[in-house]
Amino acid sequence: MDKASICPRCGCRANGPITSGNLRFYLCNTCGNVWSTPFTSPMHHKLPVNVEELITFLKNEKNEAAKTVEKIGLGKLSKVEMSRDRLSILAHLSVNIKPEIVLRPYDVVYYGKSLGVVLNHTGNSLELIFDASKRLQEKDELMVSEPLILYDSALSIISDRAKDHGRHLRIFIDLQTQGYVSELKELGEKQQILNKYDLDKEKMQIVSEIISLPKLDYMVIEGPPGTGKTMTIAAAACEIAERGGNVLITSHTNVAVDNALERIVDLNPNLKDKVARIGHPAKISKKVKPLIERQTREETREEWLERLLKQKRIIGMTIAKLAVMDYAYGLQAVSEKLSKWPTFDYVFMDESSMIPLGIAIIPIYYSSRWIIVGDTKQLPPIIKTKHRYIGSWSIMELATASTPDKSRMLSVQRRGNSTIFELISRLFYGGALRHEERTSTSKLELRLKPTHSWVDEVLNPDHIISWLQIEDGIMDWCKIKRGKIEGASGVNTAEAAAGFKVYELLVRSGLEISEIAVITTYRAQANLIREAIKKANITKDEPIVASLYDGMKSEKSDETIEEDIERTDSASILDLRIAETVDSYQGREKPCIIYSLTNHMPHVALQDYRRINVAVTRAKSKLIIVSSLTTFHTLPWLMVIKNNSHIVNIRTSHIREEFEYINELNKYMCGR
């Protein structure tokens, strides 16, 4: 008998397991207990991985990404200049581009078959940087597909350059290399840090271990929601910089990079002049914009990068921008010229549970110590190809599985009410989370006017988790189009109506819109609720509404299509920006979360517990789940959350006015 199937509470045999992601769940029918145990697939690989499988994965992903390449216009060469360092050419083009397309510096554009990087785009003029070896046609098509440069960069590193320059990659890939590594800076053994950043003992110990890490070694920091991953990254980066080390802060998303840089500048303002951000202002938070470093007209790429690497201690950029620096700006050549290879003493890869090994190779290549930060119980990588080659596994899961002794866990959550987080701790983290006293009792402060209806129960601040069950709610499919892909996304007008009403009453009860976020399972549901709130003029500002699931149902079959468009909505879940813009970034959590499950039956979108974990742990003081689900037998984590909630049952007749309004709006939006 499987010992894991014995209920730890009553000792009876349990049903299960139900496998979801990296956990197995068991349900005891005798006492109702639900628990989970770690699950490692028989196909789960360990480091170092097979290089040929890694290359196959990258080529397959590149081929899939190439299918989504979008033609945006036509270009005609007007002038071509060779850079002073003769490593690149600057092409001036007159262009006819779709009016809705805005190209920004560092964006990647294909001119015909040649990959270029945008330097400037104004009206009908476009300036692109190309490798000096490229031969450009006088006229050609302009196309965009930024993810391709990630695969081009990674393939170039593994297939071409690692043999002579990537000896340090052997920890992660079974490479036969003869290359060199510059004399690496030792920051000292068993470094002690002063607690000038008001760290708790747990974080002080981890930061001390980070700055004492020997060269060519890595460390994994597992940080459940609200446990201070960003604080740990920032404190360690400040300590390394003060000791003369160079740090790269990177992630898949701009928000994660900005979050860390903001905290670094807050912790140690004296380091501000030593911190740089690479990226376009439109994608960077207001607070981090002053840190942006741009190449001047007088500088070559080489001169700009030399200046940057000589003057700055901490540099932040997304992995996509690092790929641009690698593939189009010659970062490796500049680093070697400065006798600094690898370029950085440390790289901090945040949200690394979302970063597949194949892409993580890019920041790994450019550093000599690797700090892998994230939460394996939250969102995994999005992979286009169905076959799970080794490169598709997240760098975090691979590193954790290979060397558990290198993993450290942050365990004190300071985000929200313990009613929410203790439940999540028991379900997903083996009960390991502890709760800071100051935040563990947080509640909403509302100016409620009694309505003597279901609303009073749902909004009651003493009910930390409210479960609003709509007995006659049904999900339907709504046609949507993303790029060239057409499909269908889920809409539940009953849940949308209930969520809309709850949102409206929360605002009337005194909550600011920056304190509320609506999360849905499907994109179409998010679009519907967002539009309903805007048209009703509940607020002058943009409501915060985001979806968890990127999949669409194919119009031609029941097959699910998933895209990898830098996960616009998933990134929004992780940062909950207003209007999904960085300028109005408000933080990764909200006092109140309204979560519409959307589907009335179990679906693949709900069957990964990690999506549920992401949604639920955005809430600090109040979680309102709107549900039409009729069965939970394959979703034990949702069953437990419901059983630990204050349950309110309604029908659409209780929200007749809102239901009619939402249905009319849905007919318009879905073209029905």
Fold for 70-144, please state it.
Elongation Factor Tu (Ef-tu); domain 3 (2.40.30)
Superfamily of the domain at 443-550+560-670? P-loop containing nucleotide triphosphate hydrolases (3.40.50.300)
CA 523/CA 609 separation, integer angstroms: 18
Q: Which amino acid is at 45?
A: H
Task: Please name which of 530, 504, 623, 519 lies closest in space to residue 575, comparing C-alpha atoms.
Answer: 519
Cβ atoms of 349 and 250 closer than 8 Å: yes
Residue 95: how many CA atoms within 13 Å on its side-chain side? 31
Helix (H, G, I), strand (E, B), or coil: what is residue 457?
helix
pLDDT at 197: 87
Whole-number pLDDT of residue 553: 53
Q: Which residue has the tokens 């408000």?
A: 586
The distance in angstroms from the start CA to the end CA of the chain is 54
**Cα 467 to Cα 459, 629, 640, distances in angstroms:** 11, 11, 12
Cα–Cα distance between 594 and 573 in angstroms, integer? 12
Quickly state the pLDDT bin for 558 (edges 50, 70, 90): very low
Beta strands in 391-548 (DSSP E): 407-409, 412-413, 434-435, 465-470, 476-482, 485-491, 516-520, 545-547
Q: Please give the single-letter amino acid code of residue 82.
A: M
Does 520 score more than 80 pLDDT?
yes
Identify the pLDDT of residue 567. Answer: 38
The whole-number average pLDDT for the span 108-125 is 89
Q: Which CATH architecture has domain 151-177+197-410?
A: 3-Layer(aba) Sandwich (3.40)
pLDDT band at 161 (very low <50, low <70, confident <90, very high): very high
- 347 neighbors 363 (Cβ within 8 angstroms): yes
The per-residue pLDDT for range 35-75, each reduced to its tens digit, is 999 987 666 678 999 999 999 999 999 988 888 788 899 99
Angstrom distance (rounded) from CA 181 to CA 336: 10
- Sequence ranges of the domains in the chain: 1-39, 70-144, 151-177+197-410, 443-550+560-670
Is 182 a residue whose pLDDT tops 60? Answer: no
**Three-state SS for 215?**
coil
Strands (E), 63-150: 70-82, 88-97, 108-111, 114-122, 125-131, 139-144
Q: In what order do the strands lie in the sheet with 247-250?
A: 275-277, 314-316, 247-250, 346-349, 369-374, 217-222, 407-409
Same fold yes or no, 151-177+197-410 and 443-550+560-670: yes
Tell me how far apart the 2 most distant CA atoms of the chain are, in Å.
Answer: 78
What pLDDT digit, counting tens, does each position of 314-335 carry?
999 999 999 999 988 889 999 9
Half-sphere exposure of 566 (CA within 13 A, CB side): 20
Q: Could you tell me which residues are beta bridge partners of residue 467?
A: 625, 647
Q: What is the pLDDT of residues 268-284, one digit of tens each?
A: 999 999 999 999 888 89
Percent of the chain with pLDDT over 90: 65
Mean pLDDT along residues 372-394 = 87
- Cα–Cα distances (Å) from 290 to 46, 273, 276, 280, 287, in that order, read 41, 10, 9, 12, 7
- To the nearest 10°, report the CA torsion of 583, 586, 592, 594: 30
Task: Check residue 552 and give its pLDDT.
Answer: 52
Instruction: Supply the pLDDT for residue 551.
Output: 57
pLDDT at 376: 94
- What's the average model confidence in pLDDT over 16-36? 91
pLDDT digits (tens, 9 = 90+) for 565-587: 333 344 444 444 333 322 222 34
Residues 457-493 pLDDT 10s: 999 999 999 999 999 999 999 877 655 556 788 999 9
pLDDT of res. 186: 57
Q: Taking each helix axis from N to C terminus, what angle separates 147-155 and 51-66, rounded to the nearest 10 degrees?
A: 150
- Note the pLDDT of residue 131: 81
Task: Please classify residue 473 by burial: count the beta carbons closer than 10 Å to its beta carbon, then call 0-12 exposed, 13-18 middle and 19+ buried.
Answer: buried
Mean pLDDT of the chain: 87
Give the pLDDT score at 566: 32
Query: Average pLDDT for residues 209-233, to the nearest whole number?
Result: 96
DSSP code at position 566: T
CA pair distance 611, 247, nearest whole angstrom: 31
- 3-state DSSP of 582-636: CCCCCCCCEEEEEEECCCCCCCCCCCCHHHHHHHHCCEEEEEEEEECCCCCCCCH
Give the mean model confidence (pLDDT) for residues 192-217.
89
| Interval 489-514: pLDDT, tens | 899 999 999 999 999 999 999 999 99
